[in-house]
């Protein structure tokens, strides 16, 4: 039998027999690892331990201690839900049931469920866990698989489309239940320590509004009841921090029916925060040598056809006819920036050329996928594009990464880094993609940055390095990105004159420090629980006169702080009510002024952590406030860290 070579996580290589499985690789590494193997990651894809590996594959063994194990366990929990559902509702039609970052869901048809039904289904799931049913993989011919689902159009479509060309196909069996699935799964239902069902929503088959509406049931699963309880506590905290709830309470934004779905309105408080975010990004851009540009919202589709967006993105674009010509609202800013670059003749001495724009873009997401500010139709990207010589790539990507680190430090956020490679729908040849992916990988490894591989998650025009923010509750959100693009310069025939007086193609680098303002704003609302740092807070100081007799003095204090966002509480409320209102609205500082303060020309300072100090000189407070804002400190610290 011939042999193949696979790569292991430590960079070493292992020779195994051709046809060897993930489990075989694990046994070659060590018998103990072989016994503990649950699944594998092959070239970045999570697979069953019985799946074969190919020559040159990168193989990671998944055990119960691996980060991927929870995903495997939750996939199995989705099958347990489906089994419990069909035990109680034999007529239910199963569609898909994947794991998610927080648990799992299963889309179903043929049964009318509401939230009151979940407890009984969950009880049946508990019984299935107690039965400790082995979860076994079987392979069947495509013909036999079709016969298994004579009246389930969803499974038949999966066989016809997603599984097209596969023969045999895999089915997972547990007791009286089986499901068409690629896996992987845990060994038995008893390996799932704790499950719960969370809620019900609706979804369209394949996410298409023109398709059948399905019922989607969400749940989650963990290795232990303690882990589940901890998760549910975090979930309750997340409800309290929900940006849609806080957005209304703090008067930040709204998405009323009259605007249409996914089209937020920013109220004065929200716009003040966005202005501060924009100002900060602008300072980083100018410091890094970027120049501001602006592009229109609407372009002739000729531009999008030239860039490749029309072929690869047209389903997500808003198109309209104007005087018998087709135009499209821009889904991205990059073609406009490439066009600006193309208007000038450049020498190699001029490069890199760097542009930035807070560019509004439009993407036609499915209505069922829209959610607050996290997914909208209209959003703004703090977009930057730079054009450089090939030998400048590493320097420029490192500069972008440094700026992203500044952003992370400023907001006290941790990030997870991933290299996203060529997607199925893409433009450009293999050689260009291999070169681009290799250079980004080299930058990450030279900088000593730990990263995950996300196969197929790159942009259609090039690979990218993604930074996912981790918020105060440990949740991850898409954030900054840096993308390497050899394709768009080719499509737009961009050139610069080299030292040899010949034309050369520049490399285009796409980058965003926040990702989008909308999603980043959402992350900040929930991360800070609405308690924004003083420099970012829509209202930085509220002056609370003890009685109407001090209103005049309160306004004089306000005038001395006119460089900041300051208000005077002039309603005839008790002082306790004024303090309570300011606390609920998360104002960083409250200045209490009564007769004694007015007479002495001082203030009493209270912060939202309920710390207080009297007899404070106004100038002393103003100087501290200025330094706190200038330094972009995370917490109000006049009264201590």
Residue-wise pLDDT tens digits, 358-385: 999 999 887 767 788 988 999 999 999 9
pLDDT at 533: 97
CB 50 within 8 A of CB 19: no
Dmax (CA) for the chain in angstroms is 96
β-strands 602-607, 3-7: how paired?
unpaired
CA–CA distance, 482 with 632 (Å, rounded to integer):
25
pLDDT at 315: 85
pLDDT at 265: 95
CA–CA distance, 291 with 612 (Å, rounded to integer):
45
The CB-side HSE value for 172 (13 A sphere, CA atoms) comes to: 24
**If DSSP states are collapsed to H, E and C, what string results for 189-210?**
HHHCCEEEEEEEEEEEHHHCCC
Binding residues for Zn(2+): 334, 385, 510
β-strands 566-568, 541-545: how paired?
parallel
* pLDDT tens by residue, 525-557: 999 999 999 999 999 999 999 999 999 999 999
* Beta-carbon count within 10 A of 5 CB: 11
Report, in this order, helix, strand and coil percent for the chain, each rounded to 5: 40, 30, 35
pLDDT at 278: 97
Give me the residues paired with residue 190 across strands: none
Give exposure, 187-200, as e/b (b: 16+ Cβ within 10 Å).
ebbebbebbbbbeb
Mean predicted confidence (pLDDT) in 568-586: 95
CA–CA distance, 74 with 86 (Å, rounded to integer):
18
Domain with CATH 3.30.930.10 in the chain: 253-527
CA–CA distance, 254 with 277 (Å, rounded to integer):
19
Kindly write down the DSSP assignment for every residue of 2-59, as one continuous string: -EEEEE-TTS-EEEEETT-BHHHHHHHH-HHHHHH--EEEETTEEEETTSB--TT-BE
Mean predicted confidence (pLDDT) in 279-299: 96
Range with lowest mean pLDDT among 288-297, 307-316, 620-629? 307-316
pLDDT at 261: 79
CB 65 within 8 A of CB 200: no
DSSP state of 316: G
pLDDT at 368: 64
Kindly report the average pLDDT of the chain as a whole number: 92
Binding residues: 334, 385, 510
Q: Which runs of consecutive H residues, i.e. helices, occur in 478-547?
A: 487-491, 517-527
Domain with CATH 3.30.980.10 in the chain: 73-237
Domain with CATH 3.10.20.30 in the chain: 3-62
* pLDDT tens by residue, 166-211: 889 999 999 999 999 999 999 999 999 999 999 999 888 988 878 8
Percent of the chain with pLDDT over 90: 76
pLDDT at 454: 86
pLDDT at 300: 93
CB 20 within 8 A of CB 52: yes
The distance of Cα 530 from the centroid of its chain, to the nearest Å, equals 20
Tell me the pTM: 0.81
Both structure tokens of 179 = 């499901």
DSSP state of 613: E
Whether the pLDDT of residue 1 is over 60: the answer is no
Give me the residues paired with residue 42 across strands: 45, 59
The CB-side HSE value for 316 (13 A sphere, CA atoms) comes to: 18
Domain at 253-527, CATH from 3.30.420.40, 1.10.10.10, 3.40.50.300, 3.30.930.10? 3.30.930.10
Both structure tokens of 507 = 């490399």
* Beta-carbon count within 10 A of 343 CB: 6
pLDDT at 65: 92
Residue 105, burial from CB neighbour count under 10 angstroms (0-12, 13-18, 19+)? buried
pLDDT at 634: 96
* pLDDT tens by residue, 79-103: 999 999 999 999 999 999 999 988 9
Whether the pLDDT of residue 153 is over 70: the answer is yes
CA–CA distance, 373 with 59 (Å, rounded to integer):
38
Residues 6+ apart with CB under 8 A from 335: 299, 303, 304, 306, 307, 309, 488, 492
Mean predicted confidence (pLDDT) in 582-598: 96
CA–CA distance, 59 with 479 (Å, rounded to integer):
28
CA–CA distance, 284 with 290 (Å, rounded to integer):
9
Mean predicted confidence (pLDDT) in 443-464: 87
Both structure tokens of 419 = 């290299």
Domain with CATH 3.40.50.800 in the chain: 541-630
pLDDT at 264: 94
pLDDT at 161: 86
CA–CA distance, 476 with 468 (Å, rounded to integer):
6
CA–CA distance, 22 with 29 (Å, rounded to integer):
11
Mean predicted confidence (pLDDT) in 511-522: 94
CB 445 within 8 A of CB 465: no
Reduced to 3 states (helix: H, G, I; strand: E, B; else coil), residue 304 is helix
* pLDDT tens by residue, 391-431: 999 899 999 999 999 999 999 998 899 999 988 878 778 88
pLDDT at 310: 86
* Residue matched to tokens 């002056």: 543
* Beta-carbon count within 10 A of 355 CB: 23
Residue 131, burial from CB neighbour count under 10 angstroms (0-12, 13-18, 19+)? middle
541-630 in CATH: which number?
3.40.50.800
The CB-side HSE value for 555 (13 A sphere, CA atoms) comes to: 5
Handedness of CA 266, 270, 272, 277 (dihedral sign): negative
Q: What angle do CA 191, 193, 194 make, to 5 degrees?
A: 140
3-62 in CATH: which number?
3.10.20.30
DSSP state of 168: S
Mean predicted confidence (pLDDT) in 492-502: 96
Both structure tokens of 282 = 């602008």
Kindly write down the DSSP assignment for every residue of 99-149, as one continuous string: B-SS-EEEEEESS---GGGHHHHHHHHHHHHHHT-B-EEEEE-HHHHHHH-
CA–CA distance, 60 with 37 (Å, rounded to integer):
10
Alpha-carbon separation of residue 306 from 92, 356, 581 (angstroms): 47, 22, 55
pLDDT at 101: 85
pLDDT at 11: 82
Residue 206, burial from CB neighbour count under 10 angstroms (0-12, 13-18, 19+)? middle
Alpha-carbon separation of residue 400 from 348, 485, 618 (angstroms): 21, 15, 41
Domain spanning 73-237, CATH class:
alpha beta
CA–CA distance, 528 with 636 (Å, rounded to integer):
13
* pLDDT tens by residue, 253-266: 999 988 877 899 99
Terminal Cα distance for the chain, rounded = 68
């Amino acid at each position: 039998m011939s042999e193949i070579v696979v790569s292991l996580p430590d960079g070493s290589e292992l020779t195994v027999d051709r046809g060897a499985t993930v489990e075989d690789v694990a046994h070659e590494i060590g018998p103990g690892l072989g016994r503990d193997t649950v699944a594998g990651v092959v070239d970045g894809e999570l697979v069953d331990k019985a799946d074969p590996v190919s020559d040159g594959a990168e193989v990671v063994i998944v055990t119960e201690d691996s980060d991927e194990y929870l995903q495997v366990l939750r996939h199995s929990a989705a099958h347990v839900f489906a089994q419990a559902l069909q035990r109680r509702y034999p007529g239910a039609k199963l569609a898909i049931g994947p794991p998610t970052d927080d648990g799992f869901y299963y889309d179903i048809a043929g049964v009318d469920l509401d939230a009151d039904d979940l407890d009984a289904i969950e009880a049946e799931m508990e019984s299935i866990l107690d039965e400790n049913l082995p979860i076994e993989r079987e392979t069947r011919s495509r013909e036999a698989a079709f016969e298994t689902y004579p009246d389930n159009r969803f499974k038949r479509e999966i066989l016809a489309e997603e599984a097209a060309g596969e023969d045999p196909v895999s089915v997972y069996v547990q007791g009286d239940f089986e499901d068409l699935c690629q896996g992987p799964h845990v060994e038995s239902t008893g390996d799932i320590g704790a499950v719960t069902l969370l809620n019900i929503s609706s979804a369209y088959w394949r996410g298409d509004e023109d398709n059948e509406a399905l019922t989607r049931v969400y749940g989650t699963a963990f290795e232990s009841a303690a882990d589940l309880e901890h998760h549910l506590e975090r979930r309750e905290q997340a409800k309290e921090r929900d940006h849609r709830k806080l957005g209304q309470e703090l008067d930040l934004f709204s998405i009323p029916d009259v605007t249409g779905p996914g089209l937020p309105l920013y109220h004065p408080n929200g716009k003040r925060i966005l202005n501060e975010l924009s100002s900060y990004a602008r300072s980083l851009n100018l410091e890094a040598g970027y120049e501001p540009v602006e592009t229109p919202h609407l372009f002739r589709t000729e531009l999008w056809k030239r860039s490749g967006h029309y072929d690869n993105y047209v389903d997500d674009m808003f198109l309209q006819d104007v005087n018998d010509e087709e135009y499209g609202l821009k889904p991205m800013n990059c073609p406009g920036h490439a066009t600006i670059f193309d208007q000038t003749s450049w020498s190699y001495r001029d490069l890199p050329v760097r542009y930035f724009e807070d560019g509004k873009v439009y993407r036609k997401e499915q209505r069922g996928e829209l959610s607050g500010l996290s997914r909208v139709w209209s959003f703004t990207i703090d977009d930057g594009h730079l054009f450089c010589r090939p030998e400048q790539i590493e320097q420029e990507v490192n500069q972008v990464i440094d700026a992203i680190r500044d952003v992370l430090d400023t907001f006290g956020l941790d990030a997870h880094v991933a290299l996203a490679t060529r997607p199925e729908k893409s433009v450009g040849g293999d050689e260009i993609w291999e070169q681009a992916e290799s250079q980004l990988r080299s930058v990450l490894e030279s900088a000593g940055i730990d990263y995950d591989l996300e196969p197929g998650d790159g942009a259609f025009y090039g690979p990218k390095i993604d930074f996912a923010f981790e918020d105060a509750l440990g949740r991850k959100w898409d954030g900054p990105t840096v993308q390497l693009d050899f394709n768009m310069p080719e499509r737009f025939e961009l050139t610069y004159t080299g030292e040899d007086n010949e034309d050369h193609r520049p490399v285009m680098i796409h980058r965003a420090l926040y990702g989008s303002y909308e999603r980043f704003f959402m992350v900040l609302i929930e991360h800070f629980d609405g308690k924004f740092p003083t420099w970012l807070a829509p209202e930085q100081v509220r002056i609370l006169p003890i009685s109407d007799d001090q209103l005049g003095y309160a306004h004089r204090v306000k005038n001395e702080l006119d460089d900041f966002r300051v208000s005077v509480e002039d309603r005839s409320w008790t002082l306790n009510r004024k303090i309570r209102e300011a606390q609920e609205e998360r104002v960083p500082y409250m200045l209490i002024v009564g007769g004694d303060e007015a007479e002495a020309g001082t203030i009493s300072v209270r912060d939202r952590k309920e710390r207080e100090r009297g007899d404070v000189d106004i100038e002393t407070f103003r100087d501290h406030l200025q330094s706190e804002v200038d330094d972009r400190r995370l917490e109000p610290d006049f009264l201590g860290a």
